[in-house]
Amino acid sequence: MHKSMIESLLEERKGYVLRNLPDRVASVDASLRELGFEHKYLTQETATAQPASERAVKPSVQKRKQ
């Protein structure tokens, strides 16, 4: 059962890599590790270079009606 699940996850991972979705690739890699699958192409669990920050949005100025 694990073999078919691993094959499915690897196929799903290929699609995410092609579409450049690194967060999804990392989640599939985590699932693969839970099943005991290790490979050199799996992402490493390290800190990201992009900080997760929110920017404040300045409300637009409303014009007065004449």
Domain hosting 11: range is 2-34
pLDDT attached to residue 47: 45
Q: Decide if 14 is inside a domain.
A: yes
User: Concatenated DSSP letters for the chain?
Assistant: -HHHHHHHHHHHHHHHHHTT-HHHHHHHHHHHHHTT---TTSPP----SS-------PPPPPPPP-
Q: What is the pLDDT of residues 1-18, one digit of tens each?
A: 578 888 898 999 999 989
Q: Is residue 48, in this structure, part of any structural domain at all?
A: no
Could you count the other beta carbons within 10 Å of the beta carbon of residue 28?
22
Q: Does residue 58 carry a pLDDT above 80?
A: no
pLDDT of residue 61: 81
| pLDDT value, residue 21 | 87
pLDDT in tens, 15-48: 998 998 888 888 888 888 888 887 777 766 544 5
